[in-house]
Every structure is written in C-alpha cells, then in structure tokens.
C-alpha cells in the first residue's frame, strides 16, 4: 500500500467529528505544523486533543483552538497560549492537566496495550482528586489511565517509502510515543527516501505504526527556505 499522500489535507480523511487526536511537539518544536495548517481547512468539530500544549496564540494548535474545533485538551503546559485560559474561563474548553512524565507514560502504556499504571507523581495535589489511590511498599500512588487516540499527527525527520521514521534531536519529544498509541498515524517529514536508505539502527518508529506520510511544507523567508 502506498502511504505517501500528495497533500496534507488528503491525509486527514480519517479524522472525524468527536475523535481523540494525538499531536506531537514541545511548544512548536517537533510539532507537525503542515498537518495542523491543513486541519484549518477541514470541517471537523468536538475534538479531544492530547498534546503537551496548544501552540501559541495564532500559531500551531492555537490556530485550531481559535476555530473552536477543540472541545477538550489533555496536556501539561498551556501558559504559552493565553487563549487557552480565556476559553477555559468562558466554559468553551475542558482541560485535563497531566504532568509531562505522566502523559508520556500514559501514551506509552496506551501503545503497549496496558490499561493504566500507578505513579507517585501528583499525589497530594488537586491533580490526584477523584483518582484511585493505593499504598505500595509504604508509599501512596495514584492510578492513571493509559491514553489512546483515534488519529495521531506526528513530526519526524525522514521516512522511507514504507514509513520507517527517524527523528531530529529534541524534535523527537512525544512523537514516537504517539505513533504507537493511535489507530491511524499520519507522519509529517522533511524528506522521503528510498527503502534501504535509512540506517536500521537509526529507525525509531517502524513502518508498522505509520499509515500516511506527508512532506512538510517549505516557505521562503528573508533567511532562506524554511520548513513550516
């Protein structure tokens, strides 16, 4: 099956109203900005978005937030976008806060078929309210449910034609975890290379997890060509 899509909007066919969407990135680093840009053009609503943050005001996932397509967000760091707080205060957005390590483990567990796990992180805080608690080895733990998505937008460096992925430094962040935890995975990459071109030791996400591949959009700036 040919996984390479001619456009980002074509790759979004599987995203439906009410879906849970996993989106990689830490701030705007490692965020699949070409796919997010295409999402602006798709008629979809009531999304639950799982991401470290919602971009910045008018940038990244901030664009989608301002289109009122996001019903709920699950993540760790939303203060980089003041629009998140404003929508929450107005009752237009539900927020579920998770510590970054907890979110990463919840995604890993979801991808591994594990229903949940116990952690000491957030014990004794408001984030633990309403969650199951258990004492293990004289320590109190809370239960966190795993996270799975209907669709994942991930950002990688290179893909071969089968969909094997490599990542670029810290732009890797949550992307490989999200690639395992969704039913349908769309990878945005800088470059697509022939099968056999990638060093097997450098492949982080095997092609089994990838359903569609899109080449990142490049724009011309004063400093030269820049990947979106």
* Structural domains of the chain, count: 1
DSSP assignment of the chain: ---B-SSHHHHGGG--TT-EEEE--BTTBT--HHHHHHHTTS---SEEEE-S---BTTBTHHHHHHTT-EEEEEES--TT-HHHHHHHHTTS-EEEE--HHHHHHHHHHHHHT--EEEE-TTTTSGGGTTS-EEEETTEEEEEEE---EEEEEEE-SEEETT--EE--GGGGTTHHHHHHSEEEEEEEESEEE-TT-S-GGG--B-GGG--EEEEPPEEEETTEEEE-
Say if 2 falls within a structural domain: no
Determine, yes or no, domain membership for 153.
yes
Whether residue 1 lies inside any domain: the answer is no
Residue 12 lies in a domain: yes
Residue 116: CATH number of its domain: 3.40.1080.10
pLDDT of residue 227: 66
pLDDT per position as a tens digit, 105-122:
999 999 999 999 999 999
Which parts of the chain register pLDDT below 50?
220-222, 224-225
- Reported pTM: 0.94
The confidence score (pLDDT) of residue 228 equals: 63
pLDDT of residue 214: 97
Q: Is residue 112 part of a domain?
A: yes
The domain of 102 spans 8-227
- Residue 221: the pLDDT is 41
pLDDT score at 224:
45
Residue 97 lies in a domain: yes
pLDDT attached to residue 223: 52
**How confident is the model at residue 201, as a pLDDT?**
96
């Amino acid at each position: 099956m040919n996984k390479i899509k001619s456009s980002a909007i074509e790759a979004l066919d599987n995203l439906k109203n009410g879906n849970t969407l996993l989106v990689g990135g830490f701030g705007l680093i490692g965020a699949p900005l070409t796919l997010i840009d295409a999402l602006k053009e798709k008629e979809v609503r009531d999304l639950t978005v799982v991401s470290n943050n919602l971009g910045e005001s008018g940038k990244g996932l901030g664009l989608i937030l301002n289109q009122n397509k996001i019903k709920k967000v699950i993540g760790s760091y939303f203060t980089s976008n003041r629009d998140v707080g404003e929508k929450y205060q107005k009752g237009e957005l539900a927020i579920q806060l998770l510590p970054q390590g907890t979110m990463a483990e919840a995604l890993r567990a979801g991808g591994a078929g594990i229903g949940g796990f116990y952690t000491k992180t957030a014990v004794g805080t408001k984030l633990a309210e309403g969650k199951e608690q258990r004492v293990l080895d004289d320590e109190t733990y809370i239960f966190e449910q795993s996270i799975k998505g209907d669709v994942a937008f991930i950002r990688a460096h290179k893909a071969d034609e089968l969909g094997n992925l490599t990542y670029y430094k810290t732009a890797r962040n949550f992307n490989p975890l999200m690639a395992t935890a969704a039913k349908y995975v769309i990878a945005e990459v800088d470059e697509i290379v022939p099968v056999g071109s990638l060093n097997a030791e450098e492949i982080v996400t095997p092609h089994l997890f990838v359903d569609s591949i899109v080449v990142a959009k490049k724009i011309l700036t004063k400093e030269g060509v820049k990947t979106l």
